[in-house]
Amino acid sequence: MADRATQQKDLRISKSLVFVGLMGAGKSRIGRDLATKIGFSFVDTDDEIVNAAGCSISDIFEHYGEEAFRDLEEKVISRLLTSKVQIIATGGGAFMNPQIRKIISEHGISVWLKAGLNVLVERTTRRKGRPLLEHGDPATILKGLMNERYPVYGEADIIVDTQDIPIDDTVNATADALAAYIDKQLEIKYDE
Question: Which sequence spans correspond to the domains of the chain?
Answer: 13-191
Find the Cα–Cα–Cα–Cα dihedral 73, 79, 81, 83, rounded to 10°: -150
Kindly tell me if the per-residue pLDDT of 6 is higher than 80: no
From the number of C-beta atoms within 10 Å of its C-beta (0-12, 13-18, 19+), residue 12 rates as exposed
CA distances for 89 relative to 62, 104, 189, angstroms:
23, 12, 27
Most confident range, picked from 11-15, 121-125, 187-191: 121-125
pLDDT of residue 2: 44
Instruction: Name which of 16, 80, 73 is nearest 46 in CA terms.
Output: 73
Residue scoring higher pLDDT (5 or 49) = 49
pLDDT of residue 10: 46
pLDDT of residue 191: 55
- Could you tell me how many residues make up the chain? 192
98 sits in which H/E element: helix 98-107
Q: Is 114 helix (H, G, I), strand (E, B) or coil?
A: strand
54 sits in which H/E element: none
Kindly tell me if the per-residue pLDDT of 5 is higher than 90: no
Kindly tell me if the per-residue pLDDT of 186 is higher than 60: yes
Tens-digit pLDDT profile for residues 103-140: 999 999 999 999 999 998 888 887 666 766 777 888 89
Kindly tell me if the per-residue pLDDT of 19 is higher than 60: yes
Strand order in the sheet with 16-20: 42-44, 87-89, 16-20, 108-114, 158-161
- Percent of the chain exceeding pLDDT 70 equals 86
Residues 43-54, mean pLDDT to the nearest whole number: 94
In the structure, what pLDDT confidence band is assigned to residue 14 with cuts at 50, 70 and 90?
confident
Kindly tell me if the per-residue pLDDT of 4 is higher than 60: no
Is the pTM here over 0.75, yes or no?
A: yes
Q: Rounded to an integer, what is the distance from CA 161 to the centroid of its chain?
A: 13
φ/ψ of residue 173, rounded to 5 = -65, -40
CATH architecture, domain defined by 13-191: 3-Layer(aba) Sandwich (3.40)
Residue scoring higher pLDDT (170 or 138) = 170
Q: Rounded to an integer, what is the distance from CA 135 to the centroid of its chain?
A: 24
Pairing of strands 158-161, 16-20: unpaired
In the structure, what pLDDT confidence band is assigned to residue 7 with cuts at 50, 70 and 90?
very low
